[in-house]
Structure 1
Amino acid sequence: MLFDDTYKTISEPSEGFFKDRGSKFISYAFPILNDSNAKEHLTLLRELHPKAVHHCFAFRLGQDRMSYRMSDDGEPSGTAGRPILNTLYSRDITNVLIVVVRYFGGTLLGVPGLINAYKQAAEDAVNNACLISKYVFYVYELSFAYTQMNDVMRIVKEMELPVKEQIFEMECRMVVEVRSTLTERFIARCEKVEGLVLDVS
């Protein structure tokens, strides 16, 4: 059983393809961290495919099912963005944007045909992606006197915390990542170190 602080995403961009009755559906999956990442990728794809009739997309952020956006971009309502978003949910991946670019082939596909095409194209991009597990973590800044160095380093080593930055002088400073499931234990241990100041960033 995975911890609640684990989520699946993709490690790097990938592409997919689906063709139906002359219409081409080129799909792209991108790892993203926020809305503005998604907008950047969409802008680039519109420049890359200026002759495409539709640039439909969906993205999901975070672990809940509330943080998402989708667009049918002129296709009949519910035929493009929703099947793409459903692919993200069915594969249980997040922090991912999928864009499907359509070149019209001259034959109307109808609602079931469109839903199928966007779903198949989105799934192909995910099938070609490398799925990875990541952790939800918080970033803490620790400030402490040089004399407390051993106590602090013991916590960092024993809890295997990734260190983002460190400055060791008379007054020391460290920035570490703490998995969300470990934060209570981490804070409790830090409270036992005299003079240690903790800030969450």
Structure 2
Amino acid sequence: MFENAEPEIQRIVTLTQGCPERFRDKCFELLLEAYITSVSAPPPPPTPPVRKQEDPAPPANGTPLTSVPEAIRVRFLNLAKRLKVSDTKAADLFDFSLDPFTYHALDIPGASKGERMRNVALFLAVKSYLSTGAWTADWKEFRADCINHDCWDQGNSTKYMKNEWFKVASSGANITLSASGTKAAESLFSKAAGGEESAA
């Protein structure tokens, strides 16, 4: 333990020589005590490794709560629960990084242009419901989405949108769903999110 003590003691003696004579004994005693403590003290415990902070565990039901904007979260979760669909799968239908949020690329179902146009309106009404609580759709957004999905038919749009699902559907008054339209929109959304229901 004291194999290398001699040079250290010589160093302590040298240090004490610089002190006033009346303090030398006390200085030597303190320095020697500090040296003995340093060589006889157990080594300090190893520093525990720094743990990488883990991401918080997702909620038990797997909801991607961080991606769903807080302003629509309650309505979104209630809709998913009511339709008995996975809120994760339902959230995957949307791109919440955009403001306002929008759908990811959807494959609009339908055997004809008219059916697909109506389904575009239903999907947009679901999105509007999540944002505002109203089952409506903006006509300009509806027209743009129909063009995007290659189902816009300018000459027949009024005829196609005359359906029990819509209280109103025109370029001048936008689109408002009826009770049966709301049910059809929920059914279509449920199917898109992996549920079993489909639009009638």
* Common fold by TM > 0.5: no
Q: Which has the higher strand share?
A: 1
Interval containing the TM-score (normalised by the shorter chain): under 0.3
Structure of larger gyration radius: 2
TM-score (norm 2): 0.24
TM-score (norm 1): 0.24
